[in-house]
Chain A
Amino acid sequence: MNTARPWFRMTALALGLAFLYIPIFSLIVYSFNKSRLVTVWGGFSTKWYGELLHNQQILDAAWLSLKVAAVTATLAVALGTLAGLALARFGRFKGRTLFSAMATAPLVMPEVITGLSLLLLFVTLEQLIGWPSGRGMTTIIIAHVTFAMAYVTVIVQSRLSQMDDSLEEAALDLGARPAKVFFVVTLPIILPALLSGWLLAFTLSLDDLVIASFVAGPGASTLPMVIFSKVRMGVSPDINALATVLIAIVAFGVAFAGYWMARQQRNEARDAQMALAANQQMIESLKAG
């Protein structure tokens, strides 16, 4: 089947990738457009990048978003790992259905519903116990953690199910208590999954508009909120510049990830060779007596 009609597959891929990337390229190209009318080419210029660097509103929003994203990602990984661990390793415990539903529902819940419900919660809590007083970074973080942890939970749960749990049993058998087993055996093995969970939560938090709009206070504007208010009124070239910067960072990260994966594969191949050689050696030595 691999050789039969590859042209169909290749065309599908080419068209699909073009569809995915033409908008991205257009963003990048027009960020260098001298003219303010984004889609009418007026010559090459980097002035919009300069403007971007001096736009205090955008810089403040970016800084806030980065802080929120970092804290969110870390908390989401902590909570999501616990949830994933419970779902993957604790069998059919009491309340599992509810727990599982709550842990994975945020994956598909429309953001307007999550945003509205969290805002109403914060308002009610403020009335009842005085916390959180006003809305700002704290409320945004809480909201982001709540939906980001769902993604981490799924990633961790899936990674743990793939993992050979006889490794954990072996550690228990050798005298390590369950908590120790987690930190010394399980955690190092699932670390790559935790890392990708952190990155995913970071990205989701950085990119969120709807939920942040609901739960942010008057003083707190995240980067997406600023971008949204600008682009509602039409195209804006400094936004193109911002987009290009972001895409460049992501592209760099993805390329690095690709390089890392390739290196891993090469290491694995080399180790397999070593194992094979060792096997040959053993057979030889057996024959020799």
Chain B
Amino acid sequence: MKEAGGLVSAFKGSPLGNRLRRWGVNGRTAVASVPFFWLLLFFLIPFIIVLKISFSQTVIAMPPYEPLLHWVSEKVLDIKLNLGNYAFLIEDNLYWKAYLNSIMVAGISTIICLLIGYPMAYAIARSTPTWRNILLLLVILPFWSSFLLRVYAWIGLLKNNGLINNALIALGLIDQPIQMLQTDFAVYVGIVYSYLPFMILPLYASLEKMDLTLLEAAADLGSRPWEAFLKITLPLSMPGVVAGCLLVFIPAVGEFVIPALLGDPGSLMIGKVLWTEFFNNRDWPVASAVAIALLMFLVIPIMYFQRAQDAESGRGART
């Protein structure tokens, strides 16, 4: 579709049409600009506002922060940049620890997700077409049912008088209930559980595309199954691995619900910290600074994800 868009070509002869065309407006521009401006206003600009507020100071008012710009007199504009919020983040141990802890938890969860999800995706990709559809539906069903409720389910399972402890006691394996809820363990379980479909689906997509005759050729040339897996299947499934890991890791770093419901109330995850700063302390500037710092860290993985996305859908960008 290289030629001028149709919507405005209807006006072709008319003065309005000619003027619009001189401004470079055609149907294509119309199509792309609607989502573009929506995203500009509701996705990009908010980040700029967060940045701005992270430089301001908290006040008891509504909204609870001071404006950045002051007209001191007719022509003099005073900009107050409060770097104190960032200094606060750096000085107070709490924030450092929370960031590092979040990254560690997200990282480990991602790896566990990969270890569980890869064999499952592989098994689905290798099954017969009928089974494949059924299995995919089975994996997708939890994905479609409420995230919140599934995390809630783990409360019932991990409680001291919950299902798992009761079962272990009934089987005589333990006498006292094991503390599982409100521990880091519970957070790991929660994250792995909730994000597993996000790992399985891209992995499956990648594995399913693979040409099985490659493995037959490898076997024909003397390769053992494990070798063929490591040298052929694994490398070819890399795009899926990367996509799955990023889809789990990036949101998991800022995860709030799971630590809030399953984790130790004292545990430090940056999502919880942000929430607390905002809702409990009503300190919007600090919350903003936390958000900006988190974003700075995630920018690189996010860009990596974008790059991988673009590569996968490379066919779309024609010259």
Contacts and interface: CB of A to CB of B under 8 A. Distances in A.
Nearest to B9: A177
Interface in B171-220: 193, 196, 212, 215-216, 219
B39 interface: yes
Nearest to B160: A39
B149 A157 contact: no
A123 B150 contact: no
Interface stretch (B80-88, B91-99, B247-255): B247-255
A101 B196 contact: no
A123 to B, nearest CB: 5
A9 interface: yes
B142 A117 contact: no
Contacts of B35: 79-80, 82-83, 86, 99, 103, 149, 153
Contacts of A93: 28, 32
A257 to B, nearest CB: 7
A100 B148 contact: no
A99 B31 contact: no
A153 B43 CA distance: 15
A203 interface: yes
Nearest to A9: B123
A112 B256 contact: yes
B147 A207 contact: yes
Q: How large is the interface on A (under 10, 10 to 19, 20 to 34, 35 or more residues)?
A: 35 or more
Contact of B215 (A1, A24, A157, A161): A1
Interface residues of B, number: 108
A72 B318 CA distance: 31
A177 B6 contact: yes
A184 to B, nearest CB: 11
B111 interface: no
Nearest to B251: A110
B163 A110 contact: no
Residue with the highest number of chain A CB atoms closer than 10 Å, among B45, B147, B271, B316: B316
Residue with the highest number of chain A CB atoms closer than 10 Å, among B44, B123, B127: B123
Contacts of A149: 35, 38-39
A210 B176 CA distance: 36
Residue with the highest number of chain B CB atoms closer than 10 Å, among A2, A10, A180: A2
Interface string A92-120: 11011001111111111111110011101
Interface string A112-142: 1100111011011001000000000000001
Given A12-B119, A110-B271, A243-B152, A5 B141 contact: no
Given A24-B145, A102-B44, A246-B145, A96 B119 contact: no
Interface of B: 1, 3-7, 9, 27-28, 31-32, 34-36, 38-47, 49-50, 53, 63, 116-117, 119-120, 122-124, 126-127, 133-135, 137-142, 144-150, 152-157, 159, 161-163, 166, 193, 196, 212, 215-216, 219, 225, 228, 246-247, 250-251, 253-257, 260-261, 271, 274-275, 278-279, 284, 287-288, 291, 294-295, 298, 301-303, 305-306, 309-310, 313, 315-319
A181 B1 contact: yes
A45 to B, nearest CB: 17
Interface string A248-274: 001101110110011000000000000
Given A95-B36, A228-B257, A121 B271 contact: no
A113 B295 contact: yes
A110 B253 contact: yes
A154 interface: yes
29 contacts: A1-B225, A1-B228, A13-B135, A16-B120, A16-B196, A17-B139, A24-B145, A86-B28, A89-B1, A90-B32, A91-B317, A93-B28, A93-B32, A99-B32, A99-B35, A100-B309, A102-B43, A103-B35, A103-B39, A108-B246, A110-B254, A110-B271, A113-B50, A113-B274, A177-B6, A210-B256, A227-B149, A235-B159, A239-B149
